[in-house]
Each structure stands twice: as C-alpha cells, then as structure tokens.
A and B are shown apart, each in its own frame.
Chain A
Amino acid sequence: MGAVSVKPEALATRLGGLSLPTGMTPARDAALARLSAMGLPGKRDEYWHYTHPSAFNAATAMPAAVGDNGAALFAGLDAVKLVFVDGVFDAASSDDLTLAGVSLSRLATAPEGHWAQASYGALEAAGQSPIARPWAALNTAYASDGLLIHVTGKAAKPLSVIYLRRNETSDVVLHHVVKLEAGAELTLLEQGPAASRFNHVLEVDLAPSARFHHIRAQGRDLARHAVTHIFAHLAAEALFKSFTLTADGALTRNEAVITFAGHDAKAHIAGAAMGDGAFHHDDTVFVTHAAERCESRQVFKKVLKHGAVGVFQGKILVKKGAQKTDGYQISQALLLDDDSQFLAKPELEIYADDVKCSHGSTSGAIDDGALFYLRSRGVPLRVAQSLLILAFLADTIAEIEDDVIAEDIRAQLETWLARHES
C-alpha cells in the first residue's frame, strides 16, 4: 500500500456525518478498513503533489451553482436511458432495466445473494497497490447507489447514464460494477455534472475476448469538484476503450487503473479536457502489463486558458514475463495564454526485455505558422484558432469508434470553444 498520510482526526472529521449504507456489507467494511489504514491524502503524497485534495478532504461539499446541464448528448442514439438526479436513481425518467444480453440492477436495491457481491469493490481493492487511492476506498464503503451490469452476450443497445443535478450542495458517491462474460460486448455512455462534489467509481471486469466501450462527458458546471476512478481488469484478448471529455469544473481528478491479466488484450484510454479560468484537471493513470502481447494506449490532451491548470500522471508498469508488450503514452497541453499551466509526470517501469514502450509529453501554444496559413486562405482568426484546437484534440476523439458518438463529442467541443472565444 502506498504512502498516504495517516491523519486519523482528519479522517474522523471527513467521515463524521456519514453512515455505511446497507447491502454489500463485507465489501464496505473491508473498504472502510482500507481507508482507515490509508488516511486522507495530503500535499506530501507523491500522487497528490500537483493537485490539492482539500476540497475532497473537507467534511462537506462546497456549494456549486447548478449550471446549465445543456442539451443531452447522444440523443440520436438508440440507447437504454438511465437517469440519476443528485445521485439518486430516477426510475420515472429512466427506461426499464431490461436489455437483451444484459442483467441490470441497482446497487441501492441489490438483494442478498446478488451476483455483484463477489465483484463489488474487488478491483478497487486490488487497485490500491502499489499506489493508494483513498477516495476509491471511501467510495466502495459509502456509495449510495450505482449500476450493477452483468453482460452475457452482445448488448443490443448502449447504456446511456445521465447525471442531473438540482441541488447546490449535493455530495454524491456512486459506484458501478460492470462484468462482461467471455465474448460479451457493451457500450456504456455517461454524461452530466452529477453533483457539487462527485465521487465516482467504475469497476470493469472483462472475461476473455469481451469488448467494452466507455464514453464519458463530464458536466459543464464551473464550480464542481469530482474525483473518479476506473478500475479495469482484462483477460486474454479483451478490449477496453474509454474516452472522457471534461469541459469546465473547478477540480476534476480522473484516475484509471488498468491491468492486463491475459495475453493479447488491448486497452485504450483517452481524455480531452478544456478549461478556462478556475479549472484544475488531473488525469492519473496506471497501466500494468502482467501478460504477453498486450497493447495499451494513453492519449490525453488539454486545452487551457486564463490560468487553468492541467496535470497528467501516467505510468506504464511492465511486469517480468510480459513480453511483446506494446505500451504508448502521450500527454499534451495547448496553452492559450501565458497564465495557464501544464504539469506532466510520465513514468515507465519495465521488467521484461522484449517490449515496445514509448511516452511523450509536450505543452505549447497554437502554431503561428499554421494560423497564418489558414488566415491567408481567408479563414477568420477565431475560426482558424478553433480549427487548430479541434485538430489538436483529434487524436483523443479518434479513440471513439462510433462515428455518431464521436460527432456528438466534437459538437460539444465546438460549442465550448464558441462560448470561450475571448
């Protein structure tokens, strides 16, 4: 377990107002024990050096004005709609929890003996080593609701989760468990601001040859604080693809912990983040190659202006015996002014001798030469800038396989750019 500061009093204060929800009791108790052993993170913790955890450490959520939730994304897609309002599942606004090839239920109402009892919190627990992730442990202990998704075949439709927010001080902890059997396929979409303070965990367990696509658009609320974790475990020949769009938000920490346990699996994780002003966005990724011939790609890009801050901490760990690993990592920031900042910490740790691993990290301004070239052809300055910003982010969107979804995400980016021209 990693070196997270143990601050018993601080933790007691943080947990003071909370009580453990019912159901999944052994997993919740174990998570609480993990959290107590870890304590809350502080600035001295290596992985919290660039992102201050105080907003998460505070006993209550800071009020965040309810922003414009905006038009729902992916509206043109035939999907099963699942709505949460301030973290509470809203059955009236949601579709029925029935879908061919999928068993779908809620964490809050899962009965004793539910299949997810064996899965809930398992990947989170495994993902606490070698680096502690206290907010994920807190999530497993205190999550009030979430979706338990068991996929046995090819899901007939994507699941589209919409998080709405009505309350200025909502403090929400949601935990989803996704389990795909051999050869099963699922696309999971998530969108919306969810809460003033949002703690989100997504555990994804992929059996051999299972295919999972995840596209997430975090809401546009300016004052929102969010800490999210994805834990993915891949068996042989499985495919995991995850894309996250973050536009606005006071503080967002998106962690991903991906483990290759079987050979010839692929995991691609991508993120596009855009911030203007009071915006701090942190992608912290840990990919473990523990099997042969697996391919991992981390593609993270950020567009920052007016003092916005971007952080990237990405690691590729190749264990002994994980030969023919193909690991790739790129993190880039486009700084639209001199006030913005990008902090990157790429890490490679390799114990196999026949692997291909590369990483790159850059930050810079819009290319003047390209800008002039476009303008010399009659493209106005603002349009030219937007075109180049979208071009910068194109590699992340390219990780989305579905064209309709990719187009929706691109439209979101364009809308954001139009709103933040000056």
Chain B
Amino acid sequence: MLEIKNLHVKLEEEDKQILKGVTLSIGAGEVHAIMGPNGSGKSTLSYVLSGRDGYSVTDGSATLDGVDLLAMEPEVRAAQGLFLAFQYPVEIPGVGNMTFLRTALNAQRKTRGEPEISAGDFLKLVREKAKALKIDADMLKRPVNVGFSGGEKKRNEILQMAMLEPKMCILDETDSGLDVDAMKLVSEGVNALRSAGRSFLVITHYQRLLDHIKPDVVHIMAAGRIIKTGGPELALEVENNGYADLLAEVQ
C-alpha cells in the first residue's frame, strides 16, 4: 500500500535536514505505529506524505499503490485515498462543518470521476457516522472545529475519516490532549474502520493508545530515521524503559 524508500526531507525555511533516510513499507490492512522522542521527525513525515508546503524532499520516494505520492497536490493525494488526522485540527470560522464535509466528499468523488452524493444520502450518512462517534447535531452545524474541545476536535477528525473512507490513514498524535474516555471513543472509531483494504500509520508518543488500537508493527524513529522495527512488544519496552536504551543500542 504505502512504500517509503530512503526519504530525505529538509525544512525549507531553516534549511534543516529533518528526515535522513526513512524506509517503511505498509501492506494493505496493516496497522503500523511509529514512536519516537520529540523532534525525531514523526510529524514531518506525516506532513510530507500529505503534501504540506514548507518541506522539500531531497532524496528518496513515497508511493501509494505504486503511484508517486510526492508529485501530487494535497487534494489529489486525498482523492487517491490518503488521509491525515491532524495533531492540531485547524479551526475554520465561517465554514460550517457539514458544508466542509460535503464539499470534501464531493470534491474527492469528482476528482475520481464519480457522481456527487445527493443531499439526502449525505445527510443520512453523516448522521449515522456522527452518532457512532457521539457527535451531536450542534457540532455538525458549528463552524469547523471552532469552539470544539480537544476531544471534540479529534472525534471530528475521525468523523471525516469515516466519511471520506480513505485507504491509507495517518494518525498524527491523535491521543494528545485526550482524556481516557475520549481516547477510548476515538480508538473505537478507528477500530471500526479497520478492514482488509485499509491501512493505518499511527504516530504516537505513548504506548497507551496502542492498547486500544493494536498495531501489527511498531517502528521506533529517532533523529530522522527508523532505528528499530518490531512487534507490539516494542511499544511496551519503550513504555517501561524509555528511549534511552534503544538510542544507545543503535549508537
């Protein structure tokens, strides 16, 4: 599904190398987790994959089902099935959440050459998905993320994921700012979306989230590289011992 090879990325403004050769392969239906200390390049990886400005790829490649991701505009990547759940979802005053969801869904359909969804079908769909995430009608009516609590914002991200039905989902520190109950709710939302054709890349600092969203593979990232890859037990090791041992091991 997602193939990242020897990816090198610079932060344009500061001319600073952030990713120094990331190689990662995620198969269809797999859930991979990336853990790592602050500043290791986890969020940069998510932004580069989704096409945010300000980063330049100096070497390597990233493909989604064999198609070069890095050459596409962000909206085309989305239409191809890539989705980033933001660490800090953006507030957009003046744009209603429903308008936003419908515009996004129809835009993706249009890009893929599919017909637009009817207003009635859309309404039915959004109500059904929102209910599962305990998102009430008021939240749907409000402007995108404006006045939402931390937990509401993250649930809204998962709602978008559920509506857009991407095949490759990247979750960037979705657990940050969530209390135990909210984390459970968000995780249930994610787990409900797990399927043989849909893959996940879960970026997190803490093993906690991985108790709820069980990964197949865990990667440890440090200083712009994947330094170790293993099973779920690797996350537990980090939780118990911190990153210091792993970092020392590599050096």
Contacts and interface: CB of A to CB of B under 8 A. Distances in A.
B75 interface: yes
Contacts of B95: 387-388, 391
A373 interface: yes
B45 to A, nearest CB: 15
A289 B14 CA distance: 52
B94 A373 contact: no
A377 B74 CA distance: 8
Contacts of B103: 379, 383, 387
A372 B53 CA distance: 8
A391 B86 contact: no
A390 B83 CA distance: 25
B51 interface: yes
Interface string B84-107: 101001111111000110011101
Given A372-B90, A378-B107, 16 more contacts: A370-B90, A373-B86, A374-B100, A375-B73, A376-B50, A376-B52, A376-B83, A377-B164, A378-B79, A378-B108, A378-B111, A378-B164, A387-B99, A388-B95, A392-B94, A394-B94
B100 A377 contact: yes
Contacts of A376: 50-52, 74-75, 77-78, 83-84, 86
B160 interface: yes
A375 B94 contact: no
Contact of A379 (B52, B90, B93, B104): B104
B51 A375 contact: yes
A377 B162 CA distance: 12
Contact of B104 (A369, A374, A390): A374
B135 to A, nearest CB: 16
A372 B52 contact: yes
Contacts, number: 80
B32 to A, nearest CB: 20
Interface in B137-186: 143, 160, 164
Contact of A378 (B52, B53, B75, B90): B75
Contacts of B79: 378
Contacts of A394: 93-94
Contacts of A381: 73, 75
Interface string B54-77: 000000000000000000011101
Interface string A379-412: 1110110011011111100000000000000000
Contact of A369 (B83, B90, B99): B90
Among B90, B111, B143, which residue has the most Cβ atoms of chain A within 10 A?
Answer: B90
B9 to A, nearest CB: 16
A390 to B, nearest CB: 7
Contacts of A391: 92-95, 143
A198 to B, nearest CB: 31
15 contacts: A368-B53, A370-B92, A373-B90, A375-B75, A376-B52, A376-B84, A377-B78, A378-B75, A378-B111, A379-B75, A380-B75, A380-B107, A381-B75, A388-B94, A394-B94
A388 B190 CA distance: 29
A372 B99 CA distance: 17
Interface residues of B, number: 31
A394 B50 CA distance: 29
Contact of B92 (A373, A378, A395): A373
A392 B83 CA distance: 26
Contacts of A380: 73, 75, 107, 111
A368 B74 CA distance: 13
A291 B53 CA distance: 53
Interface residues of A, number: 24
Quick one: which of A367, A373, A387, A392 has the most chain B CB within 10 A?
Answer: A373
A368 B53 CA distance: 9
Interface of A: 367-370, 372-381, 383-384, 387-388, 390-395
A384 B52 CA distance: 15
A332 to B, nearest CB: 12
Contacts of A390: 94
A393 B79 CA distance: 29
A395 B94 contact: yes
Contacts of A384: 75
A380 B73 CA distance: 9
A379 B160 CA distance: 13
A369 B75 CA distance: 14
Given A368-B53, A387-B103, A375 B92 contact: no
Contacts of B107: 377-380, 383
A374 B99 CA distance: 12
Contacts of B104: 374, 377-379
Contacts of B90: 367, 369-370, 372-373
Nearest to B108: A378
Contact of B78 (A367, A368, A378, A393): A378
Q: What are the nearest 3 A-B pairs in CB distance? A: A391-B94, A378-B78, A378-B108
B153 to A, nearest CB: 11
B89 A373 contact: yes
A377 B80 CA distance: 11
Greatest chain A CB density within 10 A among B74, B83, B105 is at: B74
Nearest to A375: B74
A377 B160 contact: yes
Residue among A370, A374, A394 with most chain B CB within 10 A: A374
Interface in B96-133: 99-100, 103-105, 107-108, 111
B92 A374 contact: yes
Contacts of B105: 378
Contacts of A367: 90
Pick the most buried of B73, B77, B92, B164: most chain A CB atoms within 10 A of its CB: B92
Contacts of B111: 378, 380
Nearest to B88: A369
Nearest to B94: A391
